[in-house]
Structures are given as structure tokens and as C-alpha cells.
Amino acid sequence: MKSQMPQQLVSSALGKLRPRPGDLIEIFCIGYEHWAIYVVHLTAPSEEFEAGSITSIFSNRAVVKYSRLEDVLHGCSWKVNNKLDGTYLPLPMDKIVQCTKQMVNKMVHYNLIEGNCEHFVNNLRYGVPRSQQVEHAMMEGGEAARAIISAVMDTIKPKPATA
């Protein structure tokens, strides 16, 4: 009879830490990152769109679902990413778990810019609805807009008279 290694050791050997209650999970999908919190996540209402897909951006509502990690991944890679622990103090674990459980199967407002899955999980872990994905996109968009405005202004600026 084979002896079994503890799950934490098996996961570490595979290069992944198994998520624990309260951990944020970043899922790398093509073109965006989806976020879950051990393993509760936002998904599109299934009657409107395919559950768990990027199509949820076309809806203003989402359903909070509890799922097995494998069912959320849809073949994408992932990692435990509590990246804001250095910025914010996580709420007590029992409060995170209690609040997370209370949200399961509820319909919530969804907005790609102000209320997406990253906002949702950060609010549950830290009490702060924050999305660095949106923040980075806004900064890059702002830089692009400044470059375009600068180029347009350069074309309409009066040229100095030549002697």
C-alpha cells in the first residue's frame, strides 16, 4: 500500500500552493485575469451568458458562485495572489469566510470598471473594493490619450514665421 504525501507537500512539489480559506486566486485567462476567493467567484447569470466566461462584461449583474477550483479554471493557469497584504491588513479569517459564505448564490451588481471580480474579492479579503487591473488600464489609457492630444496639438500649433 502506497503512503500518501500530505496535500500541501504535493502542491508545493507541483509548484503551486493550495489555496486556503481567505486566499485570493488569480486566474490567467486569455486577455484578462479572473479572480476568485477560495473558491467563490463572480460569474455571469447563466440564463443570459455562458457561466464563468468573459461574456459577463456584457451584463450589469453577476452571480456569486462556490465552485471547485478545477471548474473555475477552464484550462487556464492560476496562482494564490494575496498581493495587497503589504498594503492592507486582511480582515480576520473567520470574518472573510463568513462574509464569503453569505454571498454565495446572490445576484450582485457588476461593472467592469467599478465592480468586477477583482473588486469583489479584494472587498471580501481587505474590506476595500480595488482592482489593480482597472487601475493599470486607466493609467495606460490616460498615457495614450495624452500622447494623442499632444500629437494633435502639435499639428494645429501655429508654425513660427520664417524670415
Burial of 62 (0-12, 13-18, 19+ CB in 10 A): buried
The single residue of 29, 41, 119, 136 carrying the catalytic annotation is: 41
136 belongs to the catalytic site: no
- Are 124 and 64 within 8 A, CB to CB? no
41 belongs to the catalytic site: yes
In sign, the C-alpha dihedral spanning 132, 134, 135, 137 is positive
Q: How far is CA 25 from CA 28, 73, 133, in A?
A: 10, 10, 14
The single residue of 76, 99, 109, 117 carrying the catalytic annotation is: 117
Cell matching residue 17: 500552493
Q: How far is CA 84 from CA 24, 54, 99, in A?
A: 10, 24, 19
The single residue of 29, 34, 74, 109 carrying the catalytic annotation is: 34
117 belongs to the catalytic site: yes
Residues with a known catalytic role: 34, 41, 117
